[in-house]
A and B are shown apart, each in its own frame.
Chain A
């Protein structure tokens, strides 16, 4: 009696094994992508929950080069599992009329997973005479603050966030006005009382002096006076000085030019016309 023949066995053919391997690779990629997406979704949710926080508040003040500086910092934390790379932050300010005042950009910085960083913000607004932001000196207004944030999250996703905010601005010489009293003549000299008034609606104090020059309608300096300043924030200022006019100098239809000196700056205020 013949012995039973053992079953003939063999490996799957090469083409079959190749096709099977390719299909398995595609399945592995699907699984990895789904896991990646799930963890990115969770991390992004955590990141959104811990939205950037303003740290320590903003401070404003007079600065060099006839500017007002607004400085502060933004604390950004990344509690997720993936890095936030190439993070840049840009701020742009327009005044109430839509005139461009200035902008600032920070970055790029890379924020590792679980890390927190502080992004400094320093914005310098040119308030020199005839500068774009001159009105910030004397006029309270709402500023249009545009904020742009750009970054790449989790290696693959470029993200851009933009929003606009209205911020109220309190002018350091709000409602600045000059009034001239009745001239008096004594010993051949003409003297006029000149009253300066304004409200310091800014968040910072003014310490120094205000040098005031009275000009004729032709622009000739007729006289001047210095007003000492020590005005706390949210305070009103009202001061009168007698100004002796140069002989023959008429101030009718002229103007008053005031220059603030203090806090390390010399800053000309917008000229005030005289009646």
Chain B
């Protein structure tokens, strides 16, 4: 039996109708700030690593252009998702972001074995990472389903989620 004096307090209930959506300007500004680390994570670091390998004559597991295009696309869509979160476009943009991420991971999965040939030596190292990518595919898949659910929710009851996404 739980002592009521020590039991954790329940989350504060949300008042129906009480919400405060940040203005579009603020969301664009915050989204832009959010875009920077995304670009570093999805474009800057991978491209730097691939360029380093290329400069040492080591074959690349994936073309740099693919990483750049996919990284920019996912970052921009993710930022757009953040900006349109209070609107009915949130669900579809979430679905689009997840779909692009899934497509990117599937492209990587198609060539998920990397053979590293060390220049000037007879050593060859091959690493497969298909299973890791398959596990990683779970992430955008769950996000895609979440986006579909939100789309359905927004169609059925517009603005129903706003008090919970933006409590006052």
Q: Which residues of A contact B (CB under 8 A)?
A: 7-10, 12-13, 15-16, 18-20, 22-23, 25-26, 29-30, 33, 37, 155-165
Contacts and interface: CB of A to CB of B under 8 A. Distances in A.
Contacts of B142: 22-23, 25-26, 29
B56 interface: no
A239 B38 CA distance: 82
A158 B131 CA distance: 9
Contacts of B125: 159-162
A215 to B, nearest CB: 45
Interface residues of B, number: 35
A18 B16 contact: no
B164 interface: yes
Nearest to A32: B135
Interface of B: 13-16, 18, 121-129, 131-132, 135-136, 138-140, 142-143, 145-147, 149-150, 152-153, 156-157, 160-161, 164
Candidate in B15, B146, B152 with the most chain A CB atoms within 10 angstroms: B146
Given A19-B147, A29-B138, A161-B126, 5 more contacts: A20-B146, A22-B142, A155-B131, A159-B127, A160-B124
15 contacts: A7-B15, A8-B15, A8-B16, A9-B16, A15-B149, A15-B150, A19-B147, A19-B149, A19-B153, A22-B149, A25-B142, A33-B139, A157-B128, A163-B123, A163-B124
Nearest to A150: B126
A17 B157 CA distance: 14
Contacts of B132: 33, 37, 156-157
